[in-house]
Structure 1
Amino acid sequence: MQQGDLITIKELTQTVGGGVTPRMVRHYHQLGLLAPPRRSRGNYRLYGEADIRQLARIVALKQQGFQLNHIRQLLRGTPSTEMGGTIAHLQQQYWELTDKLVQLRQTATALEGLLGCDEPSQPVRDRALARLRELEVQADELGSARIWDEFDAATGAHPEDFHAALQQLLPDLQERPEIEVDLLRELVLACGDTSLVSFVRLSPDAIAAARTALKQGNLVIGDIPTVAAAFDRARLAHLGCSVQTLLDDPHITSAGDAEQQFWQQQKWRDRLASLPAGCVLAIGYSPSVLMAVCEAIAANEIAPALAIGMPIGFGHAPATKRRLQRTGIPFVTISGTQGGGLLAAVTLNALAASLIEKPNCHCYLRHQNGSVAAEKA
């Protein structure tokens, strides 16, 4: 398309892509997301470069999960004096979405109770299902609670079979390498949230890189003492791996402490720049530490074998995780705001355990290269 050319609505949707249809474009006109189109002599809708850019923005925002009323607010050309109103509107929308998530989480919790039960609990589950079918709204709102009384009482009669529960609750992971599935299971068990599986991101070479580095006894580094303390020292010692802490101050116990200390004291940045090549990093608290790691990698100052990047936070953490995925080094991360020191340590421990317990497993190499290749000695 040359500058100044006009295209039809069908050509517009083909140019932008993303699954957008002419019907959707007409709906966006009605909502005011797109300006009224120009018309041909035959009254056909015509579009130019500005329309393509605007529709591409709408499609991109939809792919990020924004609803159309959110997109309208975001695309409004508001002066700075009106930005406060836009932020307030988006804040209200966030609270409404959070309320819906809470309701969905409550439903999911009830389903987990039913689907996650093991063999001895199934008769009790069946009775709970029968009562749910007969449930009527009661003024005292205790009806649903009574359904679970017998179910809850039965849980102390035997230990929980986690494997059986996860079999019922996890999505189909048959296409994933066996060692990756083991890692995902451990992460779910660490946080009790099966939806976490959808947010875990591994580079294709992450498992191979981890196994090679750990087999060689390379240094393992946690960002703060709390993370390093959760490492499986016995297994790491068996592999010949020593452990260090980057921000080696026992008073640093939270993400806030780590952020402030890393910014205020140059010695931590100097220590980061001196990390040996081939080390394994596990960052579970500070987004700034992970961002500094990414910058040092880009500047060829450090070359870790693997970065486990799971800092927590609501603004910086998601951005640093995206940056990590663009560094080109092997990584394991959790997209968005989820993460934490425990999950970072669980990831490292699961990778170490799988190396010891399944030293001859090569399933992950199919995922990496499309064929089974020999592990590096």
Structure 2
Amino acid sequence: MTSSQDPTPPTRPLIYDLYDQPVSGAEIERRSFAAIDAEANRSGFSDAQWQVVRRLIHTTADFSLAEHIRFSDDAFSSCAAALLRGATIYADSNMIRSGLSVARLQQIHPGYQRDSILCHVADTDVAEQAKDSGLPRSLFAVRKAADQLDRSIILIGNAPVALLEINRLILEQGLRPALVIGMPVGFVHVLESKEELQTTGVPYIVIEGRRGGSPLAVACLHALCLLTAADATLTP
């Protein structure tokens, strides 16, 4: 049903304003970060932490997200060391695997390739195990990669069950990843998976609560790449 109050369509599409006064993508990003820096409350964050937080805000346009981001004391130094030696990266979704910039990773270590980023969630054998067991594929995807996860960088942006299995491997089998980015999104097993991760003693960056997602996990690692490439002070 159309309301009589519907706005009148512009006679000139707004894109022509951009044509008249061109602004590059890089300039749009610069202005966006400037707006975030001006509007956000960055108290309590170190310079390195703020570089991650502001990029997550940029990804979501949600300033309240900053209230829920948690860092272990060794998150930055451990991740930087891992990136510099070309550590394996594990992703719980192919969206993360596709979204990570190999070019950005190669600025840190030239050996990085798309195949350096593991994701088994769509593998046929993983799907069969999940079907036979009645458990999520994300669980068996982690198990398939388990032998390669020590000293790796792990990104969980989709599946809380994947994070629960990572936590189990840490607690029961002595797995020691260089960093776990724990940002699964959802309503089932989400809160407890993030809370448990923070008790495991491994380096982590977490978004507490139900929010998260693959784009946030990607943005987090990209921020860490920029910090490492710039040789920033990587201590909170």
TM-score, normalised by the number of residues in structure 2 = 0.78
Name the aligned partner's letter for residue 339 of structure 1.
Answer: G
Q: Greater helix share, 1 or 2?
A: 1
2:69 equivalent in structure 1? 200
8 Å contact from structure 1 (residues 273, 301) kept in 2: no
8 Å contact from structure 1 (residues 294, 327) kept in 2: yes
For the residue of structure 1 that corresponds to 2:154, the secondary structure is strand
2:148 equivalent in structure 1? 275
Instruction: Identify the match of residue 219 of structure 2 among 328, 332, 346.
Output: 346
Q: Matches of residues 123-138 of structure 1 in structure 2 within 5 Å?
A: none
1:136 equivalent in structure 2? none
Structure 1 residue 317: Cα displacement: 0.8
Stretches of structure 2 that go unaligned for 5 or more consecutive residues are none
Name the aligned partner's letter for residue 319 of structure 1.
Answer: E
For the residue of structure 2 that corresponds to 1:190, the secondary structure is helix
Residues 343 and 316 (structure 1 numbering): CA distance in 2 closer, same or farther, change over 3 Å?
Answer: same
Instruction: Identify the match of residue 211 of structure 1 among 80, 85, 89.
Output: 80
8 Å contact from structure 1 (residues 220, 241) kept in 2: no
Q: Which has the larger radius of gyration?
A: 1
Q: Which moved more, 1:241-250 or 1:327-336?
A: 241-250
Which deviations, in whole Å up to 9, do the C-alpha atoms of 1:293-337 show, x marking residues without a partner? Answer: 001000134210100011111131111000111111000110011
Q: Distance in 2 between matches of 1:189 and 1:261?
A: 31
2:136 equivalent in structure 1? 260
Instruction: Identify the match of residue 166 of structure 1 among 27, 33, 36.
Output: 36
Instruction: Tell me, yes or no, if structure 1 residue 181 matches structure 2 residue 57.
Output: no
8 Å contact from structure 1 (residues 262, 288) kept in 2: yes
Which deviations, in whole Å up to 9, do the C-alpha atoms of 1:6-44 show, x marking residues without a partner? Answer: xxxxxxxxxxxxxxxxxxxxxxxxxxxxxxxxxxxxxxx
8 Å contact from structure 1 (residues 283, 310) kept in 2: yes
Q: Distance in 1 between matches of 2:225 and 2:214?
A: 17
* Count of residues paired in the alignment: 210
Q: Distance in 2 between matches of 1:293 and 1:312?
A: 16
User: Which runs of 4 or more aligned residues in structure 1 lie more than 4 Å from their structure 2 counterparts after TM superposition?
Assistant: 153-160
8 Å contact from structure 1 (residues 225, 250) kept in 2: no
1:372 equivalent in structure 2? none
Q: Distance in 1 between matches of 2:32 and 2:158?
A: 28
8 Å contact from structure 1 (residues 279, 304) kept in 2: yes
Q: Distance in 2 between matches of 1:327 and 1:283?
A: 16
For the residue of structure 2 that corresponds to 1:204, the secondary structure is coil
For the residue of structure 1 that corresponds to 2:136, the secondary structure is helix
2:201 equivalent in structure 1? 328
Residues 330 and 341 (structure 1 numbering): CA distance in 2 closer, same or farther, change over 3 Å?
Answer: same
Stretches of structure 1 that go unaligned for 5 or more consecutive residues are 1-139, 368-377
